[in-house]
Amino acid sequence: MASSEIVVDGDKILVTFNPPLVVPQLAAPVALVATGFTAVGDKTVCVEGDELPPSLRAPLQYLSPPFVTPGMGKLSLTLQSANKSAVAADDGKVMLLVGKTFQAKFEVQVPAQQPSPGGPVPDATPRYSGTAKFISTHGVATAE
């Protein structure tokens, strides 16, 4: 496997869903919070489980025009093997690598609504698919 940058505290994740889905909390890249013990320079490494920052773990508001009254849903991510270190580990956990784009899923918990004269119409889509990728802000360390 070719070497790839290790993801560290403060690097970012960018989650993208195709329109019309809008999740305001995902409009810009979100900083990752590392829980590893190993440091690269002065930054702690991100390990498996850190790919979903704490601010994105709670249900998130969404809308999907014409469903413009916000609903709520939960974000989940599925890493690829290219996003996990095959060799380098931190206290038994796999370190995260910038790697490739991976899967994002948004599961609707409370449907967004479309206002209508006969009463609101709920969004019938139970889940939305998208992609996510890590954005390195340091560009130094690599691992297999």
Q: Does the residue 87 lie in any domain?
A: yes
pTM summary value = 0.90
Q: Which amino acid is located at 103 in the chain?
A: Q
Q: Does the residue 21 lie in any domain?
A: yes
Whether the per-residue pLDDT at 19 is higher than 50: the answer is yes
Number of structural domains the chain divides into: 1
Residue 43 tokens read as: 């930054």
Q: Does the residue 51 lie in any domain?
A: yes
Whether the per-residue pLDDT at 1 is higher than 80: the answer is no
Whether the per-residue pLDDT at 7 is higher than 50: the answer is yes
pLDDT at 2: 45
pLDDT at 141: 56
Q: Does the residue 144 lie in any domain?
A: no
How high is the mean pLDDT of the chain?
A: 92
DSSP string, 54-114: GGGTS-EEEEETTEEEEEEEEEEEE--GGGEEEEEEETTEEEEB--S-EEEEEEEEE--EE
Q: Does the residue 108 lie in any domain?
A: yes
Chain segment 95-109, per-residue pLDDT in tens:
999 999 999 999 999
Q: Does the residue 27 lie in any domain?
A: yes
Which residue segment(s) compose the domain that 51 sits in? 4-137
